[in-house]
Amino acid sequence: MRKAIPFLLTIGVVASLAACAPADSTTAENSVDCTPTASGSASEGVTVSGDFGTKPEVTIDFPTDVAETQRSVAIEGDGDTVAVEAATANVQFSLYSGATGDELSSTTYDEAGLTAFPVDAEQFLVGIVKTIECSTAGSRVVGVIPPEESFADDAAREQLGVGADDDIVFVVDVISVDPPAAPALPRADGEDQPAEDGFPTVKLDDDGRPTITIPDTDPPTELEVAVLKQGDGDTIEENSDVVVHYVGMNWTTGEIFDESWARGAPSTFNTGQVVPGFKTALEGQKVGSQIIAVLPPSEGYGEAGNSGAGIGGTDTIVFVVDILGIG
């Protein structure tokens, strides 16, 4: 089972590696071909032996003394590259004092010790990020990291036994690489409102995508609109350009005929370009709101229906709409 930060290892507390970067450090940029920002002879002077994925034998010509992080590759892997900001490297590692060569901490080099390192200098020491970035899965990488790019917190140094002027040596096996998590889809953020009787029920998944359940009753014969979440943003005026997420369902068949959520991005249109009931339902609402609208045929596609969407001339349709913006 992979560990996520902060974490506690049996030899020393290494939660100190997380969120302790100097305040003025920034995430190193990766070019398209991912050229590491750290290199140098000091890391090449660290002798490392043993198979990838097992605890290494490490000999350090101490004391090390570097002005900025130096990095070298002891074993070159051919897997995915840690090349994208916010990617996560799943690693086994050992940490040493550059002043004495002593081991400070280590993972257990088994499944229980596998540890997730987000490649983000706002969460980790900038020197750790410089060591891991541009590595490939299957690689063993050595980083020699100066005080300026390691611990900003004196308590963290003391806890690990690292002097204020001491380098640290980081030997890391990159077991696998996770890409950045997909950004959350935009969603209505208004205040939840009580459900109104007679409407289909709406439940939201973790991303905010609605699931609509049609009641076992006849649909209304007139346009019905209810606010599910009340936003406090700008008001939609007549014939406005709007940005929305929506689901459209046929009350008669229970089938979804259109939805922006499935496309992974909101839709933009003018309220003067949609069917009458959709226009009426949107205009006057506030950004941040989620609404449900039930449109009888006269407010939707009329007697002609919409054969391409599977909507007959007598079918009532339902929209659940997250109103995200204007313009």
Give the single-character DSSP code of 293: E
How far apart CA 143 and CA 150 sit, in angstroms, is: 11
The whole-number pLDDT of residue 57 equals 97
Q: Percent of the chain having pLDDT more than 70? A: 85
Farthest CA pair distance, the chain: 85
Residue ranges of the alpha helices (H) in 133-261? 154-160
Contact between 92 and 175 under an 8 Å Cβ cutoff? The reply is yes
Which structure tokens are listed for 314?
């007598």
Which structure tokens are listed for 31?
């070019």
The whole-number pLDDT of residue 301 equals 95
How far apart CA 141 and CA 323 sit, in angstroms, is: 48
Can you say how many angstroms the Cα of residue 175 is from the centroid of all Cα atoms in its chain? 20
Which structure tokens are listed for 272?
């003067």
Torsion angle in degrees (nearest 10) through CA of 123, 128, 130, 132: -100
Task: Please state whether beta strands 256-259 and 103-106 pair in parallel, antiparallel, or not at all (unpaired).
Answer: unpaired
Report yes or no on whether pTM surpasses 0.75: no
Residue 233 CB burial class (10 angstroms; 0-12, 13-18, ≥19): middle
The whole-number pLDDT of residue 2 equals 37
Q: Over the stretch 34-70, which tens digit does the pLDDT of each residue have?
A: 778 777 677 767 999 999 999 999 999 999 999 999 9
The whole-number pLDDT of residue 33 equals 62
C-alpha closest to that of 141 among 174, 96, 177: 174
How far apart CA 73 and CA 28 sit, in angstroms, is: 18
Residue 245: what residue type? H
The whole-number pLDDT of residue 258 equals 94
How far apart CA 239 and CA 293 sit, in angstroms, is: 18
The better pLDDT of the pair 137, 23 is held by: 137
C-alpha closest to that of 137 among 75, 56, 77, 93: 77
C-alpha closest to that of 15 among 169, 155, 182, 199: 155
Q: Over the stretch 124-167, which tens digit does the pLDDT of each residue have?
A: 788 998 999 999 999 999 999 999 999 877 777 888 889 999 99
Q: Over the stretch 173-226, which tens digit does the pLDDT of each residue have?
A: 999 998 776 667 799 999 999 989 999 999 999 889 999 999 999 999 999 999
Residue ranges of the alpha helices (H) in the chain? 41-44, 126-132, 154-160, 276-282
C-alpha closest to that of 105 among 64, 49, 161: 161
